[in-house]
């Protein structure tokens, strides 16, 4: 394995460039995108949760649906950049088996995610290296579904050469270990099995747990609440 990065991880970048809409608007966007129809989530309950949570929610809160209710395979095709829909790579058919690891989700189908950040400051760090750095900064990594929810509200968060991994989603293996694949969201180059027609589309894929990529940060949050 290469030497550890020489740069010192800093605090998360300022999320201000990507301000989130009010929670009630976020709920309406999820409904308009078809999340309730695709997952069985009740649109009325989603609206009611957003309305109740809005007054006390910290600034910059993201509305999320629990992955048990809205799995990544259902959400990924709703992503869009320049009119091109999102997709999951063909060698990740087990995407919904990547479960929360090291994070506790609030009870219920809906919850809030606070101050999501793309983690550009940890570009060229491996997931193994980045996780303790995030923990030391008082943050926890995003789930894959949380990263997708963020992009459903703010597609422009995903920029070429500034994409992110979602390392709180891991695939358990027998014996208590984990699959070395680690989910990430980036922009397809339209090569290989992606297909030329998908060039520029949002892509749910994976990278190895010990590998580094200069163009992948690490999505994280300051916390979650119901």
Chain segment 135-192, per-residue pLDDT in tens = 999 999 999 999 999 999 999 999 999 999 999 999 999 999 999 999 999 999 999 9
Nearest CA to 49 among 104, 133, 110, 125? 110
Nearest CA to 112 among 71, 150, 157? 150
Nearest CA to 141 among 158, 175, 166? 166
Whether 8 shows a pLDDT value over 60: the answer reads no
Collapsing DSSP to helix, strand or coil, 86 comes out as coil
Q: How far apart are the first and last CA of the chain?
A: 40
Percentage of residues in the chain with pLDDT exceeding 90?
92
Residue 86: strand pairing partners: none
Q: Is the pTM of this model over 0.75?
A: yes
């Amino acid at each position: 394995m290469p030497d550890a990065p020489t740069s010192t991880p800093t605090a998360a970048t300022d999320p201000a460039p990507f301000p989130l809409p009010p929670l009630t608007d976020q709920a309406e966007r999820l409904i308009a995108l078809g999340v309730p129809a695709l997952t069985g989530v009740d649109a009325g309950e989603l609206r009611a949760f957003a309305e109740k949570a809005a007054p006390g929610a910290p600034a910059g809160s993201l509305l999320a649906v629990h992955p048990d209710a809205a799995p990544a395979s259902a959400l990924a095709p709703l992503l869009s950049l320049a009119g091109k829909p999102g997709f999951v790579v063909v060698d990740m058919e087990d995407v919904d088996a990547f479960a929360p690891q090291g994070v506790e989700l609030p009870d219920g189908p809906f919850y809030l995610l606070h101050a999501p950040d793309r983690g550009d400051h940890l570009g060229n760090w491996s997931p193994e290296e980045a996780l303790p750095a995030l923990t030391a900064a008082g943050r926890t990594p995003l789930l894959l579904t949380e990263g997708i929810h963020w992009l459903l509200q703010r597609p422009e968060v995903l920029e070429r050469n500034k994409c992110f991994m979602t390392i709180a989603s891991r695939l358990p293996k027998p014996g208590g270990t984990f699959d070395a694949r680690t989910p990430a969201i980036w922009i397809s180059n339209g090569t290989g099995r992606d297909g030329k027609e998908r060039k520029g589309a949002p892509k749910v894929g994976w990278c190895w747990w010990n590998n580094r990529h200069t163009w992948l940060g690490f999505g994280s949050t300051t916390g979650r609440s119901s």
